[in-house]
């Protein structure tokens, strides 16, 4: 079974590259993406800056904790 590449192994230049590697990732707005971790038990919210290939982690928590935040502003 192929594994999902880590961020270091990826070269994300645009939205399609993220979805290619993480097809369940959701784009919210302002460059923010929500990633499901461990079968949707956990959520990671990150802001991606494609021009510099930089990932800013904004939130990591359980699905229940995620329900109490606003992914667009965290």
Task: Give the model confidence (pLDDT) of 53-73 as tens digits.
Answer: 999 999 999 999 999 999 999
Q: Where are the domains of the chain?
A: 7-66
Residue 50's nearest CA partner among 19, 5, 4 is 19
pTM: 0.84
pLDDT score at 11: 84
Collect all residues with Cβ–Cβ distance below 8 Å to 40 and sequence separation of at least 6.
63
pLDDT 10s digits, 28-53: 999 999 999 998 899 999 999 999 99
Residue 24 vs residues 40, 51, 52, 68: alpha-carbon distances, Å? 10, 23, 23, 20
Round the average pLDDT of the chain to a whole number and report it: 90
Angle 71-67-53 (CA atoms, 0-180°, nearest 5)?
Answer: 30
């Amino acid at each position: 079974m192929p594994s999902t590449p880590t961020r270091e192994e990826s070269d994300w230049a645009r939205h399609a590259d993220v979805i290619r590697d993480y097809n369940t990732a959701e784009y919210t707005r302002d460059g923010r993406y929500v990633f499901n971790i461990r079968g949707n038990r956990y959520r990671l919210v990150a802001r991606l800056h494609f021009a510099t290939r930089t990932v800013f982690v904004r939130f990591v928590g359980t699905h229940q904790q995620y329900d109490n935040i606003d992914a667009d502003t965290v």
